[in-house]
């Protein structure tokens, strides 16, 4: 297959492109606008004969129409992805997440192209800490932030295009990813690179919020499985049973990096901060037989710390500007 991967120069998209080119004989065209979150270097070393990067915007209907017409399938990762940014400037989230997705599904409908939409568990809102239930494919949508509401909107557009126009689409909603190539604005790489720089990690509020962590390589294998074997029109939740509260994550990072466990600061909490996410991925596991390879979050985190230590050239250029932005927001 020839895949068009939008947002392939971002964190999860680039992990997917590496995974596909390593484990299949599919070829890949990445369409990426190289916003502040995209990095060409995340795609270094890929085979020229099976890989191409097109720098462009997913709201560019002419470009999207041509590239979609040339592809056998579209895997749509491109998004504005950071909750904190969406609280300070929501507009790009509407443009990319809503209008961009609309532009892609219109092209896929016209050309009859198979479409896989990447989304997030945040569309379901949040859970109480002691809620015995986790999110399933049946959980009602209830997003909290400008980011998650635009992702929810994009999911609903895809669902409507399946029902109204017969778009051959699947959707996946995944939990929080960690691993190589994640921007230093995000929680785990921000704290790892802070410790490397001799700066104390920054915990929002009391740090009791829970996220359900999955390694990006496991997200990639799940998406490939759904693309190749998923039932058209279906939604699959992707998760690896990795619930951890933020304070434990910071303490684990500090210990793994040889620092005292309590060497972190509390900073201003995020407005509207979701308390807990948790994914039940039974459908994906029983229907399609998918399993995560990283069973142990601490082992995955240790690999990730090693990656950031060894790839300072990849993240260094973004660190100062990212921390300056947090400083302005009172979260530094």
Residues that bind ligand TDX (CB under 6 A): 81-83, 120, 122, 176, 186-187, 190, 202-204, 209, 211, 246, 270
Q: Is 72 a catalytic residue?
A: no
Does the footprint of ligand NAD cover residue 79 (CB under 6 A)? Answer: yes
| Shortest Å, Cβ 209 to ligand TDX | 4
Does the footprint of ligand NAD cover residue 218 (CB under 6 A)? Answer: no
Tokens 């895997």 belong to which residue?
Answer: 75
| Shortest Å, Cβ 260 to ligand NAD | 28
Active-site residue (options: 106, 122, 155, 185): 122
Does the footprint of ligand NAD cover residue 33 (CB under 6 A)? Answer: yes
CA dist 91 and 77 (Å) reads 18
Q: Is 236 a catalytic residue?
A: no
Does the footprint of ligand NAD cover residue 174 (CB under 6 A)? Answer: yes
* Cβ proximity to ligand NAD, 25 vs 235, nearer residue: 235
Does the footprint of ligand NAD cover residue 191 (CB under 6 A)? Answer: no
CA angle 294, 78, 36 (to 5 degrees): 95
Separation in Å, CA 163 to CA 168, 195, 234: 10, 49, 11
The DSSP line for 136-173 is -TTSPP---SHHHHHHHHHHHHHHHHHHHH---EEEEE
Q: Is 106 a catalytic residue?
A: no
The interface region with ligand NAD, picked from 9-17, 107-115, 229-237, 286-294 by CB under 6 A, is: 9-17
Tell me if 235 sits within 8 A of 137, measured CB to CB: yes
| Shortest Å, Cβ 197 to ligand TDX | 14
3-state secondary structure at position 71: coil
How far, in whole angstroms, is CA 286 from its chain's centroid? 23
CA dist 179 and 302 (Å) reads 10
| Shortest Å, Cβ 61 to ligand TDX | 25
* Cβ proximity to ligand TDX, 46 vs 249, nearer residue: 249
Active-site residue (options: 77, 147, 236, 308): 147
* Cβ proximity to ligand NAD, 1 vs 99, nearer residue: 99
The DSSP line for 7-34 is TTTSHHHHHHHHHHHHHS--EEEEEE--
152, two tokens = 């929810």
User: Among ligand NAD, ligand TDX, none, what binds residue 58 when CB lies within 5 to 8 Å by partner kind?
Assistant: ligand NAD
Cβ neighbours of 51 (radius 10 Å): 19
| Shortest Å, Cβ 187 to ligand TDX | 3
> Using alpha carbons only, how large is the chain's radius of gyration in Å?
19
Among the listed residues 254, 232, 238, the one whose alpha carbon sits nearest the alpha carbon of residue 302: 254
- Exactly one of 5, 64, 77, 253 binds ligand NAD (CB under 6 A); that residue is 77
* Cβ proximity to ligand TDX, 270 vs 285, nearer residue: 270
Question: What residues act catalytically?
Answer: 121-122, 147
Name the site residues for ligand NAD (rule: CB under 6 A). Answer: 6-7, 9-13, 32-35, 37-38, 57-59, 77-81, 96, 100, 118, 120, 151, 174, 176-177, 183
């Amino acid at each position: 297959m020839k895949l068009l991967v939008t947002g392939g120069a971002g964190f999860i998209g680039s992990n997917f492109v590496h995974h596909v080119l390593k484990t299949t004989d599919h070829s890949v065209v990445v369409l990426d606008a190289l916003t502040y979150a995209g990095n060409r270097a995340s795609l270094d070393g890929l085979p020229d004969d099976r890989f191409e990067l097109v720098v462009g915007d997913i709201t560019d209907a002419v470009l999207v129409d041509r590239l979609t017409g040339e592809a056998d399938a579209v895997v749509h990762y491109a998004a504005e992805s950071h909750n904190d940014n969406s609280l300070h400037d929501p507009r790009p989230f509407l443009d990319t997440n809503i209008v961009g997705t609309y532009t892609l599904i219109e092209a896929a409908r016209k050309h009859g192209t198979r479409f896989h939409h990447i989304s997030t568990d945040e569309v379901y809102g949040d859970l109480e800490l002691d809620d015995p239930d986790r999110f399933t494919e049946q959980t009602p949508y209830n997003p909290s932030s400008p980011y998650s509401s635009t992702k929810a909107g994009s999911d609903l557009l895809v669902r409507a295009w399946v029902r109204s126009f017969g778009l051959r689409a699947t959707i996946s909603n995944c939990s929080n990813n960690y691993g190589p190539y994640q921007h230093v604005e995000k929680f785990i790489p921000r704290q790892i690179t802070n410790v490397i720089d001799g700066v104390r990690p920054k915990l929002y509020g009391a740090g009791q919020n829970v996220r359900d962590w999955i390694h990006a390589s496991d997200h990639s294998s799940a998406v490939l499985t759904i693309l190749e074997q998923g039932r058209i029109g279906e939604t699959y939740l992707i998760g690896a049973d990795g619930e951890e509260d933020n304070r434990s994550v910071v303490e684990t990072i500090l210990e793994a990096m040889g620092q005292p466990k309590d060497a972190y600061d509390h900073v201003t909490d995020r407005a509207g901060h979701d308390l807990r996410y948790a994914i039940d991925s039974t459908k994906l596991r029983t229907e399609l037989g998918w399993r995560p390879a990283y069973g142990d979050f601490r082992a995955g985190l240790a690999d990730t710390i090693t990656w950031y230590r060894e790839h300072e050239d990849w993240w260094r250029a973004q660190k100062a500007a990212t921390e300056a932005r947090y400083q302005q927001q009172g979260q530094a």
